[in-house]
Structure 1
Amino acid sequence: MPIFLVVVGYLLGTFPSAILIARANGIDISSVGSGNPGASNVTRALGWRKGAWVYALDACKGALAAGLALGFDGRPLAYAAGAAAVLGHMFPITRGLRGGKGVATGSGVLFVIQPIIAPFAVILWWTVSRLTGKAAVGSLVAVGLVPAGLALLDRPAWEYAAMGALCALILAKHWPNVVRLVRREEPALSSVGQPADPTSTG
């Protein structure tokens, strides 16, 4: 049963929220902004309201995966199933392993397994993203500081290690964004409708 829930978590993660919402609004999300199938790029293409819908759906994928596992067998399995959902979002087998960055799905996992930290992480992401105009900056700051929140709450070492590994994976997926930020080529959240950069992987 634990392995089954991890597999279910991965499959939940593959649900293509951004692609479906963009397609319903006449947009191929791979052809605008960064080309990334995630909430930030949908925001660039279609505005904050549609981006918020993608965020909510992607967060629900992580929350559902972690919540099912938590109810069945406690926190370790919740971490495993939640991480599987994030991996499913990042590397969906249904789309040739080309998925999103995992921030929204990861936040859903965080709301289940660390509900005290999660609201602060989301508020931090929102604030930094709005101040800088770059969702990637908000993501890097918020995700990078989540393990510090666990340390402040004095969580067990294994939880700190598990969350640190998950955050490191999400940050690693943002490496193309870091490169574009250094080059000052990262699309802004206000870049609505701009064609995708053909060299972009994020």
Structure 2
Amino acid sequence: MAHLLEELDRLNMKIMQMVVQTEQALSKTVNAFSRMDSDMAQQVVDNDKKINELEVQVYDLCLRLLALEQPVAKDLRFILGCMRVCQDLERIGDESANISDATIYLSLNPPMEFYDKILLMGQKSYDMLQEAIIAFSSPDVERAVDVCRMDFEVDELNSAVLKEIIQYMSQKSDTIEPCVQTINIARRFERIADMATNIAETTMFIVKGTSLKHSCQFDDRV
């Protein structure tokens, strides 16, 4: 039992290392887009491999714990939850790198009027990730539910900005390529918000044992 607790502490430390790297990547991604800073964006692209390496380490540790320690109840749910969270963090890292890559391209083009809405999506996605991480590490079920609710705001922003960009392209055909890149950025920020929601749902699974599938739509009794 003591050995299992030590290994669970080690797992928690390892996934928190991944959390720090992913949070920094998304923060730099949002800032790079805000400033059209290609150097900062390139840092995110270059750093993505560190997040990928941490995912492998976390996943391997989880598999070893499942095979050798035979955990039950909440310990089992924590390990399974960590496996899911590390996948979501890795995907957030990938999306951050892809957004940063697109930012490098956009930095060579004149700014467009809807960038402020894209930036707002990025900021809200980052806020959701921060809240999801706090909910997971606490763990805090009420905070997890709040993250799920925040996801609707990002979805609505995404729909609105896509309509605006499509209308803009129809009027200015010479901006099609940068507009397509901007649409991709908006979609990737929306996916990051979805992954933050996944982390919140995983928190509820660990604490309450509820299904991972749509587990926080919505428990107002929490």
TM-score range, shorter chain: 0.3 to 0.5
Asked which structure has the greater CA Rg, the reply is 2
- Structure whose residues are more often helix by fraction: 2
Tell me the TM-score normalised to structure 1 length: 0.37
Tell me the TM-score normalised to structure 2 length: 0.35
